[in-house]
Amino acid sequence: MKKNASEMSRKELASFIDYSILKPEFSQEEIIALAKEGVELECSSLCINPGYISLLEPFVEGTTTSICPVCDFPFGTSSTSSRRQQVEDVAQYDCVKEIDIVANYGMIRSGMLSEVTADLVEMMAVCKKYGKELKVILETDALNDAEIVSGCKCCLDAGVDFVKTSTGFLTGYDLVGGTVEVVDLIMKTVNGAAKVKASGCIRTREHFLALIDLGVDRCGLGYKSVRPILEASIDNDNSKEAY
């Protein structure tokens, strides 16, 4: 019987978290400090920009936390050959188990679904070559429900491992990120054929637990949210406080 999220230990909850360290203005000292926190909290991975893999590799060695580089971030508009090279570059690291990449959501909005699928097929070929999993960000706040469904189908046709909601960096739209409603739509569309990662605007413990109970495989959380959410786990006396 599946355990309710509210009954999970801090360590169990941390295994659902991709700890996001993606702001381009961060200094190396800030990146290292945040990475150390993600490792200390035993998060599943550190989501970072690809240029910092070598910097952070020593801090995850021998831990349960891996590095998840995010390619073609945050727009997803580079050429397929450029995107493929980015994936190739990061896939060669042993500390990398999964790779995030942004789908070209402008193409999804344009109905260019065969082009989106073909691009993702190329990314998957590289990931399979190195034994890595691919997580595809749809940027759902820029899409309507029909477009989200179409993006999911592109992901399924390409055989990707995860479908993911948001980058957290979209501008010019009302941002809701990984809401229960959006994630539920994705889960019903992929119907178990791919794993699901919720990300964007997940800032409370209540929201985080609701997504786990819904059945997500992973949640992307911003660095400011992770510790407050986990410190309310059942390992602590204040586990029943509202967040």
Task: Give the other-Cβ count within 10 Å of 22's Cβ.
Answer: 21
DSSP SS3 for 101: strand
Angle between helical axes of 223-230 and 28-40 (0-180°, round to 10) = 20
In the chain, at which residue ranges do the beta strands (DSSP E only) sit? 17-21, 45-48, 66-71, 98-102, 133-137, 162-164, 195-199, 218-222
Residues with active-site annotation: 100, 164, 197
Could you give the CA distance from residue 233 to residue 5 in angstroms, rounded to a whole number? 10
N-to-C CA span, the chain = 26
Selection from 142, 147, 178 nearest residue 17 by Cα = 178
